[in-house]
Structure 1
Amino acid sequence: MIPLEENRPDPDELLSRIGGEEKQNRGRLKIFFGMAAGVGKTFEMLRDAQKARSEGTDVWIGYLETHNRRETEAQAEGIPILPRKRSKYKGVDLEEMDLDSILEKKPDLVLVDELAHTNVPGSRHPKRYQDVLEILDQGINVYSTLNVQHLESRAGIVEEISGAPVMERVPDSILEVADEVELIDLVPEDLIKRLKEGKVYPSEKIPQALNSFFRTPNLTALRELSLSYTSKLVDRELSRLEPTKDSKLSEKILVAIGPSAGGAELIRYAKRIAFGLKCPWVTVYVDEGKNLSEEDKNTLRENLQFARELGSEILSLAEKDPVRGILRAVQRTKATHVVVGRSGKNRISWLLEGGSLVDRLSKESGDFQVILAPTDSSKRKSPNRFSPFWWGARSKPVQYFLSFLALMGVTSFNLLLNTFAGYWSIGLIYLFFIMFVSLFAGRGPVLVTAALSAVFWNFLFIPPKFTFYIEKMEDWMMFGTYFLLAIVLGVLTTRLRAREDALQSGEEALSGLYRLSTSLSKAHSLDEIVSVAMESIRNTFHSPILLVLADKEGRLSNTPHTKSDFLPDMREFALANWTFQNRKPSGKSTDTVPMSRGLYLPLLSPGGCFGVLGLDREEKPPLELEEEALLFSMLSQLSLAMERIQLLGIRATAKMAEESEKFYSALFNSVSHDFRTPLTVIRASLDLLDLGEGSLASKDSSLISEIRTAYKKLDRLVSDLLDMSRLESGRLQLDLQWEDPSDLVNDAVKLTQDEKEKHSLTAIADENMPLVRMDHRLMGQVLVHLIQNAFLHTGQNTSVVVRASVPKDHLLLTVEDNGPGVPSGQEEKIFEKFLKGPGEVQGTGLGLSICKGLVEAQGGKIWAENKPEGGARFSIRIPVLTFPPLEDEFV
Structure 2
Amino acid sequence: MAHGRLRVLLGAAPGVGKTYAMLEEGHRLRGAGVDVVVAVVETHGRRATADMVDDLETVSRMHVEHRGIRLDELDLEAVLDRAPTVALVDELAHTNAPGTRHAKRWEDVEELLAAGIDVISTVNIQHIASLNDVVQQITGVPQRETIPDAVLRRADQIEVVDLSPQALRDRLSAGVVYPAERIDAALSNYFRLGNLTALRELALLWLADEVDSALKRYRAEHGIDAKWEARERVVVALTGGTEGETLLRRGARIAARASGGALIAVHVVSQDGLRSPHPETLTAQRALVEQLGGSYHQVVGDDVPRALVDFARASDATQLVIGVSRRSRLTALLTGPGIGQTVIRGSGDIDVHIVSHSQAGGGFALPRPTGGLTVRRRIAGFIVALVAGPLLTALLASTHTPESLASDVLSYQLVVVVVALVGGFWPAMFAAVLSGLSLDFFLVAPLYRITISEPHHLLALALFMVVAALVSYVVDQAARRTRKAARSAAESELLATVAGSVLRGDDAIQALVSRTREAFTLLATRLVEDGEVIATDGPVAGHDADTPSQSMPVTDTAVLELYGRDLQADDRRLLAAIVGQLAVALEHRELVETADRIQPLARADRVRSALLAAVGHDLRRPLAAATAAVTSLRSAGIRLTDADRAELLDTAEGSLDALAGLVDNLLDVSRLQAGVLGVSLADVDLDGVVPVVLDELGLAPGSVQLDLSETVGAVRADAVLLQRALVNLVANAVRFSPDGHPPRIATSAFGGAAQVRVIDSGPGIPADRLDDVFVPFQRLGDTDNLTGVGLGLALSKGFVEGMGGSLDPEDTPGGGLTMVISVPLAQEAEAVTPRASEVPE
- Give TM-score scaled by structure 1 length: 0.36
TM-score normalised by length of structure 2 = 0.38
